[in-house]
Amino acid sequence: MEERSKDNLCESSFGVTNDDEATANPVKERCWDQRESLQGEPQCAICGRYGEYICDETDDDICSLECKRTLLGRLANSQKPVSLPPPVRLPITDECFYVRDGDDKSQSRSLTSNQIESLRRKIEIQVKGGDVPPPVLSFSSCNLPQKLLQNLEAAGYDIPTPVQMQAIPAALTGKNLLVSADTGSGKTASFLVPVVSHCTNFRFEHPSNKKKPLAMVLAPTREICVQVEEQAKLLGRGLPFKTALVVGGDAMAGQIYRIRQGVELIIGTPGRLIDLLIKHDVGLDEVAVLVLDEVDCMLQRGFRDQVMQIFQALFQPQVLMYSATIPPEVEKMASSMAKDLVLVSAGKPNRPNESVKQVVIWVESKQKKQKLFDILMSKQHFMPPVVVFVGSRLGADLLSEAITVTTGIRALSIHGEKPMKERRETMRLFLVGEVSVIVATGVLGRGVDLLGVRQVIVFDMPNSIKEYVHQIGRASRLGEEGTAIVFVNEENKNLFQELVGALRLSGAAVPRELANSRYTMGPYSASKGQKKRKHGS
């Protein structure tokens, strides 16, 4: 059987071994056997009815065998067969070539180490570690499968972003990487491109019916996993590259069924993945690449043990680790986990994204709601779509309701207690513009690409400046300008010192109450010049 269903009923009809879920439900043969899709449900790529199955050859949602045949027929007619280049294993020092503007591949040349350094300086890349290939200025310099290059082009990725210029060639040589780069700088593709490339080459080199997973991406939230899977599908279109999403809230039976059918990449949150691995026998011996997205979060208490459990179940994979914030203790842990680790830093990680204007306002807790309503009702200040970050799940629910009631602006909440289906639907409504404001806890604070969002409001300061950096980073993608309005008051005093340091580094104004607070002291509290003036006055 080639399709699988997305709900429990039909998972069972595809041979899922979970008895509780086993219910006879034959695969729909004809399109008209299928019902219409409800709001938020997947739609058939051909007829728009309920997309109950996923086509195993294209990963598109489809409603029936009939539509699957139509889909494959259309594809066969519309696409010339894509011939993949034979998988090439280049020598380590020469994996990627530097292509100057106007050069074509045949004119590619190796660079001297001075030229490499100067190029890295230009694109604000720092590298620590031996034998790291030079940055590339085009995807086509990386010996990627032709279809992957086409997919990158179709996605509008004309040139790599700086982090991609360095991390992709380095990852392609098999190096273990710890990569830090600004929020919104394209880190996701910088690990997915090498992953797709590896999987594709492996399948061509080792054709086999037993398709065990070849790579794994672990991320801390379901939302990030969903987005990583979406991007992976985009880049892997038309290639022997299938994905399985393993997150809580979706039926496990469907997840294990899909893995058993044969996938190249598993994307998941650590807890659900361990749950699945304990209950089901999944062959992990071919997983050669492990990605830890938001690595600082993944190696923190809470996730660390689970991540290490998964890591130890693998057979010395290449480890690729990424975040916009990597503190020294995470660097240490990463070095002890992966040998000969290469450190890549792009732009100015570990501090607020320069493209986001931070407007910090001192607001007493009791006045925060009114202040928020004032901003949302001000033509001058409200720039929808807006994400409001709060500190608790209940707070998210209550505040979103209060916004809708008081301002008339449609607001919804997202947090970890909401069912996955509702979270997906809320995101959809937000991204298509039907909802202007999302009130979220930290689940949306990291890693989620909120296209179109140029304003975030930090209603409750998070527990650390690291999370603050990630949250305000949602207001800018790829250097586009955004604004973060940030409420602070005495309750956030434990962050004052670091916050003032971060604001001054970014050239943002520091509210008088914050600057004058007795908690705002220490090495970051003022620049040298400012200190001098203070002493001199």
Ligand X SMILES: Nc1ncnc2c1ncn2[C@@H]1O[C@H](COP(=O)(O)OP(=O)(O)OP(=O)(O)O)[C@@H](O)[C@H]1O
Residue closer to ligand X, measured from CB, 152 or 277: 152
CA separation for the pair 62, 73 (Å, rounded)? 14
Binding test (CB under 6 A) with ligand X, winner from 62, 137, 178, 189: 189
What is the residue type of 295? V
Smaller CB distance to ligand X: residue 428 or 531?
428
Q: Which amino acid is at 209?
A: N
Using the minimum distance from each CB to ligand X, give the nearer residue, 12 or 185. Answer: 185
Distance, in Å, from the CA atom of 492 to the CA atom of 490, rounded to the nearest integer, reads 5
Strands 3-5 vs 53-55: parallel, antiparallel or unpaired: antiparallel
- Residue from 24, 38, 405, 451 that binds ligand X (CB under 6 A)? 451
Q: Is 109 helix (H, G, I), strand (E, B) or coil?
A: strand
Distance CA 376, CA 388 (A): 11
Closer of 161 and 497 to ligand X (Cβ): 161
CB nearer to ligand X: give 282 or 289.
289
The H-or-E segment that residue 458 falls in is strand 455-458
Q: How far is the CB of 359 from ligand X (least distance, A)?
A: 20
Q: How far is the CB of 159 from ligand X (least distance, A)?
A: 6
b or e along 224-249 (b: 16 or more beta carbons within 10 Å of the residue's beta carbon)?
Answer: bbbbbbebbbbbbbbbbbbbbbbbee
Of 186 and 236, CB closest to ligand X: 186
Pick from 333, 271, 278: nearest CA to 303: 271
Structure tokens at 296: 């600082």
Binding to ligand X (CB under 6 A) within 143-162 occurs at 156-157, 160-161
Q: By C-beta, is 282 or 343 nearer to ligand X?
A: 343
Contact stretch for ligand X (CB under 6 A) within 180-188, 310-318, 382-390, 395-403: 180-188
What residues numbered 269-328 form the site for ligand X, per CB under 6 A? 324
Site string for ligand X, 390-429 (x = CB under 6 A): ----------------------------------------
Name, in order, each residue with C-beta under 8 angstroms of 292's C-beta and a sequence gap of 6 or more: 218, 298, 299, 307, 319, 320, 321, 322
According to CB under 6 A, which residues from 467 to 526 bind ligand X?
Answer: 473, 477-478
The distance of closest approach from Cβ of residue 232 to ligand X in the complex, given in angstroms and rounded to an integer, is: 12
Q: Output the six-digit token pair for 260.
A: 């058993």
Residue type, 453: V
Residue 216 burial (CB < 10 Å; 0-12/13-18/19+)?
buried
Cα separation, 535 vs 537, in Å, equals: 6
Cα-to-chain-centroid distance, residue 138: 22
> Shortest distance, CB of residue 35 to ligand X, whole angstroms?
33
Q: Which stretch binds ligand X (CB under 6 A): 204-212, 435-443, 445-453, 526-534?
A: 445-453
Looking at residue 167, its amino acid is: A
Give the separation between CA 223 and CA 245, rounded to whole angstroms: 11
Shortest gap between Cβ of 323 and ligand X (angstroms)? 7
- Backbone φ and ψ for 123, nearest 5 degrees, come out as -95, 15
Q: Is 347 in the site for ligand X (CB under 6 A)?
A: no
Asked whether position 449 contacts ligand X by CB under 6 A, the answer is yes
Nearest to ligand X of 203, 454 (CB atom): 454
Rg (alpha carbons) of the chain, rounded to whole number: 24
Binding mask 205-234 for ligand X (x = CB under 6 A): ------------------------------
* Closer residue to ligand X in complex, CB, 135/473: 473
**What are the residues facing 356 on neighbouring strands?**
482
Encoded tokens for 82: 């894509």
Binds ligand X by CB under 6 A, chosen from 183, 455, 497, 525 = 183
Q: Give 164 or 200: the residue with its C-beta nearer to ligand X.
A: 164
Q: Report residue 486 as tokens.
A: 């940030």
Among 166, 188, 517, 520, binds ligand X (CB under 6 A): 188
| Contact status: 180 vs ligand X (CB under 6 A) | no
Identity of the residue, 135 or 186, whose beta carbon is nearer to ligand X in the bound complex: 186
How big is the CA angle at 171 (ends 196 and 334), to the nearest 5 degrees? 115
Alpha carbons 354 and 348: distance in angstroms, whole number: 8
* Site pattern 9..28 for ligand X (x: CB under 6 A): --------------------
Among 185, 221, 350, 471, binds ligand X (CB under 6 A): 185
Closest separation between CB of residue 182 and ligand X, Å? Answer: 7
Nearest partner of 135 among 97, 172, 103, 109, judged by Cα = 97
* Residues in contact with ligand X, shown as a per-residue x/- string from 54 to 93 under the rule CB under 6 A: ----------------------------------------
Residues engaged in binding ligand X (CB under 6 A): 156-157, 160-161, 164, 181, 183-189, 324, 447, 449, 451, 473, 477-478
